[in-house]
Amino acid sequence: MIKYIFFLIIAALLSACSGGQSDSSAVDEGAISGGTIVVTKEQFQSSGMELAAMTKIAAVQEINVNGKVVVIPGHVTEIGSLSEGRVSSVMVSVGDWVKKGEALFRLEGPSIIDLQQEFLKAQAVLPVVEADYSRQKELLQSEIASRKIYEEARADFLSARATASALRARLELLGIDTEELERSGTITASIAVSAPIAGNVTMQNLRQGAYLLVGESVMEIVDPKSVFVELDVYETDMTDITKGMEVLVWPAGEDTVYYRARISRVAGKVDADTRSIRVQASLSEPAPALLPGMYVNATLLKESGEMYGLPSGAIVNLEERFWGLMKEAESDSTYTFVRREFETLPLAGEHTGVFNYEEFDSEALFLTRGAYGLIQ
């Protein structure tokens, strides 16, 4: 009798284990059988799943492009010497901020001295030839002097005046005060080369004692506040790209900070090699992280009116086909979903537009969180 009871207990336990495995297997298989997916409400809640219907949203399409930070013309300048000479001192280095008119380096040499000397000579001669010209003019009017002598005096005066004027202009380009030079007659042996704009010294190729030639570029100053962004947009994305369109810009490889800009110019020609069009965007706010010459990433926000859409979490990309889970039925303990395909348009923010919205009932609900794991 004891053995009989013992065998009955074992048989019952085995039957219970077998029955439990059969029920569990049935639940697992039923979860994705028949083209539907069944999720218990307990699983739905614990996994943080959410449902939502399609809504009409402002359709702002994102177009991702690349580009470069460029300085506005007139806000970058190369510094050179307008006279030959030796560098006697250097006041700034790369990275320094300078004000307009601030001395950058000093230059000395015989040509600087000679130019001042020539100017003083020309200024000394000018009153003499001017007086002779005036006298010959009076004599001509009195018919005492010949016209030939008058014309020679006039030519000498005009030549002397042009020479003095040209020398004055050359000295003023070098930053020499010609009025003070003319008044005192004191010749300086060196000049200070000053910054024509305010900005940051981005290039400096100077050393004390170096001899500079006229036109030799030795320094660059950039005003980094006066920059814009040049973007390359593929011709296939150019539809409805117009001036005034909003753009988000950030340094390449850095996605923690971005700046707002607006398209200010659109080139009227397609690059034959890249099949892209150059677009310029002016920044709408200070952008200290965007430095001249830096490569950037950007997103053009193309407004396309209104369209129906879903949160992007509702749509799963499987080999460039886009799927979602639509609620088909609901019981006291479960949700039943069916997989449906969408024709989509990526939009700015956290929504995706749906072109084939008419295929769905206006009250249809879709799984907007957790769909990826179930569809995969």
Q: Residue-wise pLDDT tens for the chain (376 aa)? A: 333 333 333 333 333 344 434 333 333 433 544 478 999 999 999 999 999 999 988 777 788 899 999 988 888 899 998 899 999 999 999 989 999 999 999 999 999 999 999 999 999 999 999 999 898 888 888 877 788 888 999 999 999 999 999 999 999 999 999 999 999 999 999 999 999 999 999 999 999 999 999 989 999 999 877 888 999 999 888 887 888 889 999 999 887 788 999 999 998 888 888 899 999 999 888 888 888 889 999 988 887 678 889 998 999 999 889 999 999 999 999 999 999 999 988 776 788 889 899 999 989 999 999 898 888 7
CA pair distance 206, 107, nearest whole angstrom: 11
Query: CA angle at residue 256 from 255 to 261, to 5 degrees?
Result: 75
Q: Dmax of the chain from CA atoms? A: 166
* 64: exposed, middle or buried (Cβ count in 10 Å: 0-12, 13-18, 19+): exposed
What is the pLDDT, as a whole number, of residue 240?
A: 79
Three-class secondary structure of residue 165 per DSSP: helix
* Residue count (the chain): 376
CATH number of 63-73+223-304: 2.40.30.170
CA 256, distance to chain mean position in Å, is: 15
Degrees (nearest 5) of the Cα angle 80, 94, 87?
40
Residue 256: per-residue pLDDT: 79
pTM to 2 decimal places: 0.57
The string of DSSP codes covering 266-323 is: EEEEE-TTT-EEEEEEEESS--TT--TT-EEEEEEEEEEEEEEEEEGGG-EEETTEEE
- pLDDT score of 43: 92
CATH of 80-108+190-222 given 3.30.70.250, 2.30.110.10, 2.40.50.100, 3.40.140.10: 2.40.50.100
Residues 110-188, CATH architecture: Orthogonal Bundle (1.10)
Count the helix, strand and coil residues of the chain and give each as a percent rounded to the nearest 5.
30, 40, 30
Report the half-sphere exposure of 150 (CA within 13 A, side-chain side): 14
Closest CA to 87 of 192, 231, 160: 192
Distance CA 144, CA 147 (A): 10
> Quick check: do 28-59+306-375 and 63-73+223-304 share a fold?
no
Q: Are 219 and 204 in contact (CB under 8 A)?
A: yes
What does the pLDDT read at residue 13?
A: 35
Q: Mapping DSSP to helix (H, G, I), strand (E, B) and coil, where does residue 203 land?
A: strand
Residue 10: count other Cβ atoms within 10 Å of its Cβ.
10
What's the pLDDT score for residue 57? Answer: 83
**Domain 28-59+306-375 fold:** 2.40.420
What is the predicted pLDDT for the residue at 140?
82
Beta strands in 162-237 (DSSP E): 190-194, 199-204, 211-212, 217-222, 227-234
The full set of domain ranges for the chain reads 28-59+306-375, 63-73+223-304, 80-108+190-222, 110-188
What are the CA-CA distances from residue 116 to residues 119, 127, 160, 187, 278 (Å)?
A: 5, 18, 16, 6, 49
For residue 129, report the phi and psi dihedrals to the nearest 5 degrees: -70, -30
Amino acid 24: pLDDT: 36
